[in-house]
């Protein structure tokens, strides 16, 4: 247990985003992420504070993946306070290389819970200095729901990396996009 906790990677990120309307102020977000990967698991926790129209909102993201050779089990929770997004998904999928297909429970905490087909694509490209990771999920709901993540890191040395994180989520009721600069510290 301690080996798993001590092997975690800690990242900090900041963002300044232009508002969607001209009469609104700039939006800011500051967050920290804790991430741990093993051969079969991926754990990601993010907590952040963002502003929208000078009001503070709490954002949270929790993600857990378990991979076997042919099976993928995923838990994912996203809360974007400023956009009223509170969505939880639980997937069980068969894997075919980087693709997966199966079923999911999609729960918009404020509205509905559905059992639906789900599809995914996940790819990690890792070299000496660069790491590029993408993870996308698609859910067949009344209005197609999906989320996609992109993480690009440049490794300065074995303990420090810099990069960008991008996330887009579309639920049946709302959508949100995020792009952040990050500094990653690992042990």
Supply the DSSP string of 153-165, one letter for each residue. Answer: EEESSSSEEEEEE
pLDDT at residue number 134: 94
Check: CB of residue 106 under 8 Å from CB of residue 113: yes
pLDDT in tens, 35-58: 888 888 888 898 988 887 778 888
Domains detected in the chain: 2-185 (2.40.160)
> How far apart are the C-alpha atoms of 150 and 163, rounded to whole Å?
11
- With 80 as the cut, is the pLDDT of residue 82 above it? no
> Measuring CA to CA, how many Å separate 179 from each of 29, 122, 135, 186?
10, 19, 15, 21
Bigger pLDDT: 134 or 187?
Answer: 134
Residues forming beta bridges with residue 61, ordered by sequence position? 46, 78
pLDDT in tens, 96-138: 999 999 999 988 877 778 899 999 999 999 999 999 999 999 9
Residue 21's pLDDT band, with cuts at 50, 70 and 90, is low
H-helix or E-strand spanning residue 5: helix 2-6
Q: What is the mean pLDDT of the chain?
A: 85
Does the pTM of the predicted model rise above 0.85? no
> How far apart are the C-alpha atoms of 181 and 44, rounded to whole Å?
17
Q: What is the DSSP letter of 25?
A: P
Query: Can you tell me the mean pLDDT for 87-95?
Result: 92
- CA torsion, ordered 153, 156, 160, 165, to nearest 10 deg: -20
């Amino acid at each position: 247990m301690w080996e798993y906790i001590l092997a975690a990677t800690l990242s900090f990120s900041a963002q300044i985003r232009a508002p969607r309307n001209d009469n609104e102020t700039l939006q800011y977000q500051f967050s920290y992420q804790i991430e741990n990967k093993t051969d079969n698991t991926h754990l990601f926790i993010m907590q952040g504070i963002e502003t929208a129209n000078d009001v503070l909102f709490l954002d949270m993201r929790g993600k857990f993946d378990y991979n076997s050779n042919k099976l993928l089990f995923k838990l994912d929770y996203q809360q974007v306070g400023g956009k009223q997004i509170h969505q939880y998904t639980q997937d069980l999928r068969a894997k075919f290389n980087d693709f997966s297909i199966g079923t999911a429970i999609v729960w918009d905490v404020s509205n509905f819970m559905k059992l639906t087909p789900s599809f995914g694509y996940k790819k990690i490209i890792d070299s000496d200095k660069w790491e590029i990771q993408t993870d996308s999920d698609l859910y067949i709901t009344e209005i197609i729901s999906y989320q996609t993540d992109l993480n690009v890191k440049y490794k300065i040395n074995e303990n420090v990396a810099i990069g960008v994180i991008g996330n887009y989520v579309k639920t049946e009721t709302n959508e949100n996009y995020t792009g952040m600069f990050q500094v990653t510290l690992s042990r």
